[in-house]
Structure 1
Amino acid sequence: MLFEKRFWAGIEDGSITLTFRRWKRRQAVAGRSYRTGAGIIDVLAVDIVDPASISDGDARAAGYPDAASLVYELRGDDTLPTYRIEFRRSDRSDPRAELARESELDHDERAEIDRRLDRLDQASRSGAWTRDTLRLIGEHPARRAGDLAAMMGRERDDFKADVRKLKNLGLTESLDIGYQLSPRGRAYLADPS
């Protein structure tokens, strides 16, 4: 679930426990966990509400000073249903972060990474990109995504979406600016067998 960066600290410290979204159909389910930029959250409830019924207290729990500010910033067509999503920060760590910390790979783990990267390359309309992207991030850590995308002759947003796929495999880590290889990513590139 995506949150603007300005909400991450509140999600991390537990002061933000609500979000409101306009969706065509429900995109979150109570009882499930979702990744955010601030870590994993556990969704407790998802209800359709009338935006006029949003209280100032609910707005503060969503990171806004008052209900008027929250309703003003709601994105999407105002004819769509407005969902009130109640959540808490999960005690569980992000499995991608745990995976990324692995600094030694056995033969089977390496073969699984190869298989997953090959599948991403085959699904791409622009051809193989995974290993070149890993090498580029390794050579230019903390470089802006737009700069890295230009070095590969790609659009920034498409490049960032692809780097997220590598992060899901535990091979890269996001920084405030740019990316770096994770210990797992460095281990993978260190042994090209």
Structure 2
Amino acid sequence: MMIRPAELAAIKAGTVDLAFRRWARPRVVVGTRMRTAVGLLEVTSVERAGRITAEDARRAGAPSLKALKEALAARPQDPVWRIGLAYAGPDPREALRNEVPDAAAIAEIDARLARLDRASAYGAWTRETLDLIDLNAGVRAPDLAAQVGRETADFKKDVRKLKELGLTESLAIGYLLSPRGEAVVDAGLPAPRVRAPRSSGTALPRSIGAPATGALRNVGITTLEQVTTLTEAELIALHGVGPVAVDRLREAFAEQGLEFKAG
């Protein structure tokens, strides 16, 4: 179930708690939990929609009842479903990523990695992939996959398995080892690997897209807080930053209580 970034932020804030979709049959059930950019969302109700009101449109984050009805105009042969949504807390993988494992936990993780290797037609890929990400933080997935001669789709699927274990995190472009992942990698080395200091700011939202992320990186900006050193005009002037990226940054600013530099 796709939900736009602005609606995700509003659901987390509690100002939106409904969504309307045209589906031949429900694609979610009550109790479904979805991982999103803002954390976990839970489906609280699913029912065929009857008469949709202006209050329903407001609760769904639509600018007006007319706008909502226009958005639902496609595929008129399918019924409209009314879905209740609620913020269910942060993604548990976030906490897991920051848990530095002890020796016993590392042994357990090693065993799980070995099982993933044995189950793969590619062969032993887990350590190779962890090392690749560790040494190439923030590099595009297709470029990482090419380094080891793999198809991008298969490579990304395997990285998601490492993410489930709390070992990696996704950036707007590429990946990064989590503190948990770093501990697992270092445990297999003669000495801990020397790495650049981790950024202490809020990561740029992935929803701004790779071109905008690359444009900001080119001027040394890698966190949301650093974007506040730019005016909106300076931001828009960067090659690769379009109106959609600016809107996504405004939404992220609103959530964090940040503002652009006065112009």
Fold match by TM threshold 0.5: yes
1:126 and 2:122 matched: yes
1:136 paired residue number? 132
The verdict on how the C-alpha distance between 1:136 and 1:29 changes in structure 2, with shifts beyond 3 A counting, is same
In the alignment, structure 1 segments of 5+ residues that lack a partner are none
* C-alpha separation in 2, matches of 1:139 and 1:106: 23
The count of corresponding residues between Structure 1 and Structure 2 is: 189
* C-alpha separation in 1, matches of 2:142 and 2:118: 24
The answer on whether the counterparts of 1:34 and 1:42 sit within 8 Å (CA) in structure 2 is: yes
The answer on whether the counterparts of 1:173 and 1:179 sit within 8 Å (CA) in structure 2 is: yes
2:166 paired residue number? 170
1:94 and 2:84 matched: no
Shift of 1:145: 2.2
Whichever residue aligns with residue 119 of structure 2, its letter is: A
Whichever residue aligns with residue 185 of structure 2, its letter is: L
Q: Is the partner of 2:42 in helix, strand or coil?
A: strand
Identity of aligned residues (%): 47
The answer on whether the counterparts of 1:17 and 1:61 sit within 8 Å (CA) in structure 2 is: yes
Q: Is the partner of 1:153 in helix, strand or coil?
A: coil
1:61 aligned residue (52, 59, 62):
59
Please, which moves more after superposition, 94-103 or 13-22? 13-22
What TM-score results when the alignment is normalised by the length of structure 1? 0.77
* C-alpha separation in 2, matches of 1:60 and 1:146: 41
1:110 and 2:106 matched: yes
1:191 aligned residue (162, 187, 192):
187
Whichever residue aligns with residue 152 of structure 1, its letter is: V
Shift of 1:5: 4.0
Whichever residue aligns with residue 56 of structure 2, its letter is: D
* Higher relative contact order, chain-length normalized (CA < 8 Å, sep 6+): 1
What TM-score results when the alignment is normalised by the length of structure 2? 0.59
Bigger share in strand: 1
Shift of 1:79: 4.8
* C-alpha separation in 2, matches of 1:95 and 1:170: 9
The answer on whether the counterparts of 1:149 and 1:155 sit within 8 Å (CA) in structure 2 is: yes
* C-alpha separation in 2, matches of 1:133 and 1:188: 13
The answer on whether the counterparts of 2:33 and 2:41 sit within 8 Å (CA) in structure 1 is: yes
In the alignment, structure 2 segments of 5+ residues that lack a partner are 190-263
